[in-house]
Amino acid sequence: MSVTIKDVAKKANVAPSTVSRVISDSPEISEKTKRKVRKIMEEMGYHLNLNARNLVQRSSQTIGIVMKNSTSQSLLNPVFPEVLSGISALCHKQGYSLCLTTGETEEDIYQDTIKMVQGKKVDGVIVMYSKRDDKVVPFLMESGIPFVVIGKPVLEPNQIMYVDNDNIQATRDATNYIIKLGHRRIGFIGGDRRFEVTEDRLNGYLAALRENNIEVQDQYIKNFPYDRELGTQAISEILELAERPTALVVTDDLNAFIVLLVLREMNIKVPEDISILSFNNTMISKLSTPPLTSVDIQTFQLGYESARCLIEQIKEPSTVNKRIIIPANIIERESCREYQIAEISI
């Protein structure tokens, strides 16, 4: 015979209603009691009949994840699995499953989202990006389903719950870090400008230059989506300048890896000839040669907090929309050094 809630309640010496509240993670039950009941549930091999509960509650107990790109592209970027890990950790605690969009194009992803929502496959949605001319967020707003955006929303940010870093301040801090090392010719390598994170990081870089009375050199600024060919072309254009930068701020470890490859092909050493400061602090930054100084945006925490906010909104629809800002900090490694004027022999 299968183990029932009454069996668990009897062994834990609590009421069956208490076990039910533990299962739903009710704030009315103390953490001590929750730990005790969950331990007994595990020992007795109790498994919640999700299908039965969902029929009663008219809930799917599933969170929809709308990805930035196709599945294949998303999995190439180590940021995505780390954010997903944070989402999964919180959802596991709360008894929710995940449903990911699988489309290969923007239109496919949009249609996947419509199917998830209108088919009542999910109780809420996490959008893992913020982008101009995006159809997903306006659709979610119109549908009335609870949703959270990872990134600062382009449209009506005060009406949308979101989790993000302060990307302007983070890039200002990163650029100032380079400036304090004595660099004045500082380039910027950004991503796809349709995404709000790219614009914010560019604005942070520009703000730092202006605050330090450093003239903005348009030819030092390049933006491109992750692509080896486009990246190689953009970086080569910067490095072929008569006065090339002595340092680069690169807004993604993946693009920084392309930079390192191009520099190696051109026999330019890092950090001896040029310093590089990257973003996201993924495994790439730790394993590259040299290891990259990188801004840690706490990707796991971004995912965890987005899931926490969404489930809170699902359970209590009257929850006020809020903005959660996750701190970012610079992790120093070996890709940056003080600017040194080359000695000229006469």
Residues 154 and 303 in one domain: yes
Q: Which amino acid is at 231?
A: G
Per the prediction, the chain carries an average pLDDT of: 89
Indicate the number of domains in the chain. Answer: 3
Q: Is residue 335 part of a domain?
A: no
Q: Is residue 80 part of a domain?
A: yes
Residue 113: pLDDT over 60: yes
- Over residues 28-55, mean pLDDT: 74
How is residue 205 written in tokens? 């870089």
Q: Would you state the pLDDT for residue 52? A: 43
Residues 266 and 210 in one domain: yes
pLDDT band at 335 (very low <50, low <70, confident <90, very high): very high
- Over residues 182-196, mean pLDDT: 94
| Closest C-alpha among 197, 154, 148, 169 to residue 322 | 148
Domain that holds residue 29: 5-48
Q: What is the rounded CA–CA span in Å between residue 328 and residue 46?
A: 41
Q: Would you state the pLDDT for residue 343? A: 40
Q: Would you state the pLDDT for residue 225? A: 80
Decide if 97 contacts 62 (C-beta within 8 A). Answer: yes
Decide if 300 contacts 83 (C-beta within 8 A). Answer: yes
Can you give the CATH number for the domain in which 86 is found? 3.40.50.2300
Query: At a CB cut-off of 8 Å and minimum separation 6, what does 87 contact?
Result: 63, 65, 98, 126, 303, 304, 306, 307
143-179 confidence digits (pLDDT tens): 989 999 999 998 777 789 999 999 999 999 999 999 9
Residues 207 and 286 in one domain: yes
Residues 117 and 66 in one domain: yes
pLDDT band at 105 (very low <50, low <70, confident <90, very high): confident
Q: Is residue 346 part of a domain?
A: no
Residues 181 and 226 in one domain: yes
How is residue 265 written in tokens? 């092909």
Q: Would you state the pLDDT for residue 344? A: 34
Q: What is the rounded CA–CA span in Å between residue 129 and residue 338?
A: 35
DSSP for residue 158: G
Q: Would you state the pLDDT for residue 72? A: 62
> Could you give the angle at the alpha carbon of 161 between the alpha carbons of 159 and 162, nearest 5°?
125
pLDDT band at 1 (very low <50, low <70, confident <90, very high): low
Residues 187 and 268 in one domain: yes
Decide if 160 contacts 125 (C-beta within 8 A). Answer: no
